[in-house]
């Protein structure tokens, strides 16, 4: 019988660590946690599971002497609670390490890695397995619409994981995903990102290669065959059978697509050129066709027929904050999207453009990610937004690069605001019926989505 532990988690309100907390609680352990920012929705989700939350990192919380302290990567040497943890000699582990040792052991791990699309592809894959009645466990960095939760244990060997390349903890600078030991690994794409911890693309490639070094020879790697950075990484050494996928018709791969609709809402799934199923769904964008092919190939490795997977995707409810329609007021549609890298921004806009045709698209971007705030992508930012009719940027006072110069190629389409209040008022004054407002940030953007909808609603009420 597995021993019940008291697990205390530092940084518990992050999406990954909150998922670890939920899984530990579901496994029967006593779970407590601490964070600087204990607020809904994560705090409410954890409290509902019976997880005691502590606001802040007072070192005295360790007086309870938990059996293990799970340390999030927000913690660093010099913090009083970290120093006390080390001085007390309490057992500690990173989130990925604890997960690998106590949840993933003896599971068939299906891991989804890549710069873009991890959350969406993981959600697709978990839903396909669920639809095929395989009751998978999962830990996903978002809220899949078909499940309404970020993590669950499941009752079968299958476990779907979003495999993140960010570093593990202050005492383990390897990427999180090297702990996961996948039996099915998706390599979605690879670009330079996380400039706060990686000096260049080569450093990220080395971490991906570290991941491939621990994938068994009897496993499977499903990779984007159109990605040259992945090709170069695979060329560093691969000891596992692999299958390629690509939605680009000119590339010869095992898994491909034949589009039957201009907005990517209808396509046939091809295995070695032969149609195995048709997907008709609500998602848009070429990137989501690639995500679907990866999920279908991974599910096939786990025993799900392609036709079943395609049928499941027809009922895929999407993921919160991935081109999520937050509301429509006075004929104006307001979307929320997580895109914060030029490639993702361009793909999202392309999909929306194909869906709405000639209708006006107003893009609103918060350069919030560490990489974006460092100005790493400033030279490609304007080009990624070229499909929008009007573009608004939030420029915080401490942004460390010349935003006006970077977006100058957009000409009169570009507008810059210094606050969320200013954005709300300006957007409400300019948008009109039939417009599609795409708000992009990897954070909450000060609640701009709901504020704009409320402002538009108030304007509509005054005119009625």
Q: Which range in 165-174, 330-339, 350-359 is most confidently predicted, on average pLDDT?
A: 165-174
Same domain, 359 and 303: no
Q: Are residues 60 and 115 in the same domain?
A: no
Q: What is the CATH number of the domain that holds 11?
A: 3.40.50.720
* 209 and 88 together in one domain: no
In tens, the pLDDT along 41-94 reads 778 888 889 999 999 999 999 999 999 999 999 999 999 999 999 999 999 999
Counting the structural domains of the chain, the total is 3
Residue 274: the pLDDT is 93
Q: In this structure, are 273 and 127 located in the same domain?
A: yes
Co-location of 68 and 135 in the same domain = no
Which residues on neighbouring strands pair with residue 391, listed in sequence order? 363, 414
What range does the domain containing 31 cover?
A: 6-96
Domain end, chosen from 313, 348, 383, is at 313
Q: Is the separation of the CB atoms in 254 and 244 below 8 Å?
A: yes
80 with 165, same domain?
Answer: no
Q: Is 263 exposed, middle or buried (0-12, 13-18, 19+ CB in 10 A)?
A: middle
Note whether 24 and 136 are same-domain residues. no
Examine the domain organization and report whether 264 and 296 are in the same domain. yes
Task: Indicate whether 231 and 159 sit together in one domain.
Answer: yes
Is there a single domain that holds both residue 201 and residue 172? Answer: yes
Q: What does the alpha-carbon distance between residue 193 and residue 291 come to, in Å, rounded to a whole number?
A: 19
Query: What CATH number does residue 143 fall under?
Result: 3.40.1190.10
pLDDT 10s digits, 9-19: 999 988 899 99
How high does pLDDT run on average in the chain? Answer: 90
Task: Give dist(CA 428, CA 459) in Å, integer.
Answer: 8
The verdict on residue 181 lying in a domain is: yes
* Residue 245 and residue 350 in one domain: no
- Of 230-234, 317-321, 355-359, 392-396, give the range with the top mean pLDDT: 230-234
- Indicate whether 164 and 270 sit together in one domain: yes
Average pLDDT over residues 249-266: 85
């Amino acid at each position: 019988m597995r021993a019940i532990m008291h697990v205390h988690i530092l940084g518990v309100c992050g999406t990954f660590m909150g998922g670890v907390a939920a899984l530990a609680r579901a496994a029967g352990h006593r779970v407590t946690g601490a964070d600087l920012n204990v607020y809904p929705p994560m705090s409410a989700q954890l409290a509902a599971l019976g997880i005691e939350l502590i606001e802040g990192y007072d070192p005295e919380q360790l007086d309870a002497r938990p059996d293990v302290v799970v340390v999030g990567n927000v913690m660093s040497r010099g913090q009083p609670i970290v120093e006390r943890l080390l001085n007390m000699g309490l057992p500690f582990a990173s989130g990925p390490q604890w997960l690998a040792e106590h949840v993933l052991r003896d599971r068939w791990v299906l891991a989804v890695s890549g710069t873009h699309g991890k959350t969406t592809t993981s959600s697709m894959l978990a839903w396909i397995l669920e639809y095929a009645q395989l009751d998978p466990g999962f830990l996903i960095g978002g809220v899949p619409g078909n499940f309404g939760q970020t993590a669950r244990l499941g009752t079968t060997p299958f476990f779907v994981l979003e495999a993140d390349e960010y570093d593990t903890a202050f005492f383990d600078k390897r990427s999180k995903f090297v702990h996961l030991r996948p039996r099915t690994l998706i390599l979605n794409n690879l670009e330079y990102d996380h400039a706060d911890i990686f000096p260049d693309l080569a450093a990220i490639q080395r971490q991906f290669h570290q991941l491939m070094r621990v994938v068994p020879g009897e496993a499977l790697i499903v990779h984007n065959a159109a990605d040259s950075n992945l090709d170069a990484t695979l060329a560093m050494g691969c000891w596992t059978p692999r299958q390629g996928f690509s939605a680009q018709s000119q590339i010869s791969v095992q898994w491909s697509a034949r589009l039957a609709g201009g907005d990517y809402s209808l396509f046939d799934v091809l295995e070695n050129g032969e149609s195995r199923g048709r997907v008709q769904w609500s998602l848009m964008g070429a990137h989501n066709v690639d995500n679907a092919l990866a999920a279908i190939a991974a599910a096939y490795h786990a025993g799900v027929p392609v036709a079943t997977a395609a049928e499941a995707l027809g009922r895929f409810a999407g993921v919160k904050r991935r081109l999520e329609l937050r509301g429509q007021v006075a004929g104006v549609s307001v979307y929320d999207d997580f895109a914060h890298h030029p490639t993702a921004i361009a793909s999202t806009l392309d999909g929306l453009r194909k869906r709405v045709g000639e209708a006006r698209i107003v893009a609103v971007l918060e350069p919030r990610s560490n990489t974006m705030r460092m100005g790493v992508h400033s030279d490609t930012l304007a080009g990624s937004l070229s499909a929008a009719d009007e573009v608004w940027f939030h420029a915080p006072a401490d942004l460390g690069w010349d935003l006006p110069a970077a977006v100058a190629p957009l000409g009169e389409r570009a507008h810059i605001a210094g606050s969320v209040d200013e954005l709300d008022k300006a957007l409400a004054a300019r948008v009109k019926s039939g417009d599609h407002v795409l708000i992009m940030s990897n954070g909450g953007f000060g609640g701009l989505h709901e504020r704009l909808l409320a402002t538009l609603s108030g304007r509509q009420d005054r005119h009625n």
